[in-house]
Amino acid sequence: MSGFFDGERLTAARAKVAEYPQPRSAILPLLHMVQGELGYVPRDAMREIADLIGITPAEVLGTGSFYTMFKFEKMGRHLVSVCGGISCMLMGSHDLYRRMLDHFGVGSLGTTDDGEFSFELVECAAACGGAPAVQVDYLFFENVGADDGVELLEDIRRLGLDTVYAERGSMTAPLSPGAEEALAAGPAPKTAHPRAEAEATD
């Protein structure tokens, strides 16, 4: 086999497949391997995954396309995801999206000529309190007004995503003291309902 999965990648892919009782269960990790390296999953790689786990390329696409974070077309250096969910739409995200596309001269799902940005309109990005929400490479920027989106992206192009995110990104607050330990400990043990306790002593 030659293509994406050759040499070390093929060894790693076979090891991943061997972790599962059913080879087809390795489909998502294999898709991740490809996308993590190339930024998208080309058709040839889909065929290779199909061969590795004994399913058809159509099944690889059918499963992978359920997850919107997998891309099957070449993407720009930065993926700009504008939320088109109801809260963001009511707060003007469609107008924001349109202005971005017009400014950069691309259509929806398009990529700028310089390969810098690809655009997509997504369903609720789970940041409704900060509508309209925009993600750039899945980093959040909230309360982005219709007039602010173009400036945000031009700043990212000029200064770099890390710099702009550090200044204007959201959800950067550290966890509150003790939260990490509480998360690591998992849910608190269940206690009996008071009525069950009362019935037990009757």
Closest residue (Cβ) to ligand FES?
85
Interface pick for ligand FES out of 75, 82, 83, 96 (rule CB under 6 A): 83
Interface pick for ligand FES out of 86, 166, 175, 198 (rule CB under 6 A): 86
- Residue 1 Cβ, how far from ligand FES at the closest point, in Å? 42
In the bound state with ligand FES, the residue whose beta carbon lies nearer, of 33 and 96, is: 96
Is residue 82 within 8 Å of 76, Cβ to Cβ? no
Q: Confirm or reject binding of residue 121 to ligand FES (CB under 6 A).
A: no
Q: Look-up: residue for tokens 């200064």?
A: 159
Q: Confirm or reject binding of residue 85 to ligand FES (CB under 6 A).
A: yes
Main-chain dihedrals φ then ψ at residue 110, nearest 5 degrees: -90, 170
Give the Å distances, CA to CA, from 82 to 8, 111, 160: 37, 14, 19
CB-count burial class (<10 Å; 0-12, 13-18, 19+) for 104: buried
Binding residues for ligand FES, rule: CB under 6 A, are 83, 85-88, 124-128, 131, 133
